[in-house]
Each structure stands twice: as C-alpha cells, then as structure tokens.
Structure 1
C-alpha cells in the first residue's frame, strides 16, 4: 500500500516554515535540504524536517496540508512542539 506524507520543514527553531505533501518523503526532504527545486523553500532555506504525518489516502493528506496552511502560526508551532519539542531535524530518522 502506498504511503503519503504531510510534512513541515523549518529554517531553524521558531523560524520560517514550509508545509507540503508528498508520496516520497525521503526524496522530497532531500530536495529541500539540497535546494534542488526553486521556490519558497529554497529562498527561505527551510532545510530541517521538523514534523510529518503519514496516510495511505492522498486526498486526506492534501486536505490536511490545506488545513495546516490555514492555521495560525502558534497552532503550527504547538503541533510541531508536541511531537518534536526541540525542533530537531528528523532527517536521520527517515533517511536510514
């Protein structure tokens, strides 16, 4: 069964955040980290994976991404800190 991900990248703790959805989290985070794709994430250097959710339903991931993007910054911060209080880069936990 295919897995999809809603994820949050950050420039640093309490820094700029980027919310996205993907079917290949390792590849997409690598692209963010290396600045491969032009756009918001490259411009603001959101290279740290600080949060992600998984689902087998792409439609629910897209809806969740839209929901998170509409949230106030404080709510996003609380979501991240509930799972990752120090805003640690989760790259090593998904790349191995």
Structure 2
C-alpha cells in the first residue's frame, strides 16, 4: 500500500515553516527545492525537509496536515525537535 505523507519544510532553524501533504514525498520535496511551482515556499526559500510523517490513507494525512497547520508555531517546533533535534535536512535520506 502506498503511503501518504505530511511534511514540514523550513527555511532555516527557527525560520519560516511550511506544512504540506503528498503521496510522493521525494518528488514533492524536489519540486519545492527547484521552485517548480511559484508560491509561498519559493518566495520565502522554504526548502529544508525537517519533518515527515507517513499515513496509510489520504484522509488521515490531510486531517493531520490540517491539525498541524492550526497548531502554534511553538508546537510545530516541538514536533520537529522531537524527531529531528539537530534540524537535519531529511531530503538527503530520500534520494
């Protein structure tokens, strides 16, 4: 079964955050990094993958994305630091 992903991108540690959802994580992050779609992530140089969470269904991933987007910045930062305390760019593990 194909996974669906909720992910968080950052411009730098303690920088701008972006929360998204996708079925193909490596492809989507590549699109963000290369600026294939103009918008928020291109404008604010939000390209570093700092959090990724798999889900079995699109419905579950979309609901989780919505929840994360509504939570405070402090909570999002805690979520990232729980699994990625050094704020490593996780994209290197995808390719």
Gaps of 5+ in 2: none
1:47-62 equivalent positions in 2, closer than 5 A: 47-62=47-62
Deviation (angstroms), 1:9: 0.4
Deviation (angstroms), 1:2: 1.3
Distance 2:83 2:45 in 1: 22
Gaps of 5+ in 1: none
* Counterpart in the other structure of 1:2: 2
Runs ≥4 residues deviating over 3 A: none
User: TM-score with structure 1 length normalisation?
Assistant: 0.97
* Counterpart in the other structure of 2:92: 92
Distance 1:11 1:69 in 2: 17
User: TM-score with structure 2 length normalisation?
Assistant: 0.98
Count residues with an aligned counterpart: 95
Task: Establish whether residue 79 from structure 1 lines up as the match of residue 65 from structure 2.
Answer: no
